[in-house]
Amino acid sequence: MSDTLIDAKNLRVSYRSGKGFVDAVRGVTFQLGKERLGIVGESGSGKSTIGRALLKLLPSARITADRLNFGGADLIAATEKQMLGIRGKRMSMILQDPKFSLNPVQRVGDQIAEAYLVHTKASKVQARAKTLEMLEAVQIRDPERVYGLYPHEISGGMGQRVMIAMMLIPEPEVIIADEPTSALDVTVRVQVLGILDRLVTSKGIGLIMISHDLNLVRNFCDRVLIMYSGQVVEQLAARDLFNATHPYTKGLLAAQPHIGGARKQLPVLRRDPAWKSELTGVVR
């Protein structure tokens, strides 16, 4: 019985544009086990599109693949009704900015409880108890008080922890985190990632971390996919990132300034048009 949670082969996502189609994701192949997989790319690389395509949250896009399995379910063939049973319950998504992903007119505790009630046959009392438990698990010190707060009354870091609680409460198998810490300050970032890490590891959840930040992914993930122009140009273990071979990855690593680094000109990434052409065959 394999440990593979998601098996994607040749995933392609296109949008209608004018008279033809434009590919946002072109022939991406990867597997996700009970590990932390990072998908890194710049804007326009297609990384966020992959996350949303897995949850089929792109109504206007055409999603095709040779294979897109999630724990036995075929995501390509899945109907909207079947997807409703998967989204939130078996696979969920943490978004970037809690200011925009939390309902501003509902108390945060109620939102978390609702996530639980939608996917299980629990009673309201049970849901409340479970919510308080989750709030403690994300290291919120005063769960009773925070339960009754509105999103505008909590800080960014706390909001993101609320989101984590909300997404983890139905005990999914896979979590997709789309730039979960980009809107947070550095000191808070480390704390939030630590919480996410602990919860994900202890419950054996597969995590896909989508980010533009190489440092983040290097420190936090087990494996990394580097994306450029809709394709995966390199796949490697996070600790091997500095031994990357693809010129785009090396270019990205070199372009980042470091504390205490040299003051000379930052090497400018020269984009080779050959990187845009369709890669054929072998996945490294």
Partner 1 sequence: MAKLSVTLDGAALPAARRTTPLTRLGSTLAHLWRDPSSGFAMVVIAILLLTALFGPFLASHDPILVDLPNALKPPSAANWFGTDELGRDIYSRIVYGSRITLFIIFLVSIIVGPIGLIIGATSGYFGGWVDTAMMRVTDIFLSFPSLILCLAFVAALGAGLENAIVAIALTSWPPIARLARAETLTFRNADYISASRMQGASNLRIIIKSIMPMCIPSVLVRITLSMASVILTAAGLGFLGLGAQPPLPEWGAMIATGRNYMLDSWWVVTFPGVAILLVSLAFNLLGDGLRDVLDPKKH
Partner 2 sequence: MSGIVVDDLSITLGHGAAAKKILDSVTFKIGSGQSFGLVGESGSGKSTVLKCLARLWTMWTGNVMIAGQPVRNMPKMEYCRTVQMVFQDPYGSLHPRQSITTALREPLRIHGMDRVQDRMEQALVDVGLNASFLERFPHELSGGQRQRVAIARALILEPKLLLLDEPTSALDVSVQAEVLNLLSEIRTARNLTYLFVSHDLAVIDYMCDELAVMQHGRIVEILDRKGLSGGEARDPYARELIGASLAYDKVA
DSSP string of 128-178, one letter each residue: HHHHHHHHHHTT-S-HHHHHT--GGGS-HHHHHHHHHHHHHTT--SEEEEE
Q: Which does 107 bind (CB under 5 to 8 A by kind): partner 1, partner 2, none?
A: none
In whole angstroms, the minimum distance from the beta carbon of 6 to partner 2 comes to: 27
In whole angstroms, the minimum distance from the beta carbon of 22 to partner 2 comes to: 17
In whole angstroms, the minimum distance from the beta carbon of 172 to partner 2 comes to: 28
Q: Does 153 bind partner 2 (CB under 8 A)?
A: no
Q: Which is nearer to partner 2, 84 or 254 (CB)?
A: 254
Instruction: Write the CB contacts of 54 (distance below 8 Å, at least 6 apart in sequence).
Output: 6, 8, 68, 70, 75, 91, 176, 208
Shortest CA distance to 25 belongs to which of 6, 4, 52? 52
List 271, 276, 278, 283, residue binding partner 1 (CB under 8 A)? 271
Q: Is the Cβ–Cβ distance between 67 and 10 less than 8 Å?
A: yes
List 270, 280, 282, 284, residue binding partner 1 (CB under 8 A)? 270
Q: Which is nearer to partner 1, 153 or 272 (CB)?
A: 272
Q: Reading across the β-sheet that carries 174-178, which strands appear in turn? A: 91-94, 174-178, 206-211, 36-41, 223-228, 231-237
Question: For binding to partner 1 (CB under 8 A), which residues are involved?
Answer: 268-271
Question: For binding to partner 2 (CB under 8 A), which residues are involved?
Answer: 42-43, 156, 185-190, 212, 214-216, 219, 239, 241-242, 251-252, 255-261, 263, 265-269
